[in-house]
Amino acid sequence: MASLLTHPVVPIVLGLALKNSKITFPLLLAAAVASILPDLDVIAFYFGIPYASPFGHRGFTHSISFSILVGLIGMMGYRVLNTTPLWAFIGLFIGSLSHPFLDAMTNGGLGVAWLWPWDDHRYFFPDRPIQVSPIGVSRFLSERGWHVLWSELQWVWLPMISAGLIIYGMRVSCSRFFKKEL
């Protein structure tokens, strides 16, 4: 898995780059939390649920179905997020779905159960440049943890921030040209 520090980068950068009146601070915060939610499945280890089980780590909580459910729950709380039901769904869906997207780019583990409940197979992307993060704070605060952060900086943080700045710059340029906010 990517680290808990890196998962929120995707929804936060996308939200800031695409900022409009519907992408509110509470929605950005909720999307960041949604990006971490799939890793709550690590509690399965404490209950003796095998890693390879659909209910184990990177199982159903890393599926598109789970992300849809998170988005639907977000829709019910759209007023708290100070947005519309559609934007609440989009924000939390993308936040949650960004998690297995990053995990599928790591070089360890069993892959992610994208298609659960229709398919229990675990998937990775063909290219897996991100160093898998160790589970547990003590393991993360080690030399291996620094290697993981360096890998995430190269493959997630810098590309996302660069893309975010490009998108933001294009929005500003277009809004000046068309004399309105995009």
**pLDDT recorded at residue 121:** 96
The share of the chain scoring above pLDDT 90, in percent, equals 75
Does 3 reside within a domain?
A: no
Q: What is the mean pLDDT of residues 153-168?
A: 96
Alpha-carbon gap, residue 178 to 79, rounded angstroms? 31
Does 52 reside within a domain?
A: yes
41 near 103, Cβ under 8 Å? no
Does 114 reside within a domain?
A: yes
147 near 95, Cβ under 8 Å? no
Q: How far is CA 138 from CA 119, 133, 135, in A?
A: 34, 12, 9
Nearest to 32 by CA among 62, 58, 64, 6: 6
Domain containing 61 equals 9-178
Does 2 reside within a domain?
A: no
Q: What is the mean pLDDT of residues 139-144?
A: 69
Burial class (CB in 10 A: 0-12, 13-18, 19+), 108: middle
Does 69 reside within a domain?
A: yes
Q: How many domains does the chain have?
A: 1
Question: Worst-scoring range by mean pLDDT, 35-44, 131-140, 158-167?
Answer: 131-140
Q: Report whether pLDDT(164) > 60.
A: yes
Does 4 reside within a domain?
A: no
Does 81 reside within a domain?
A: yes
pLDDT tens string 99-126: 999 999 999 989 999 999 999 999 999 9
Burial class (CB in 10 A: 0-12, 13-18, 19+), 39: buried
Does 132 reside within a domain?
A: yes
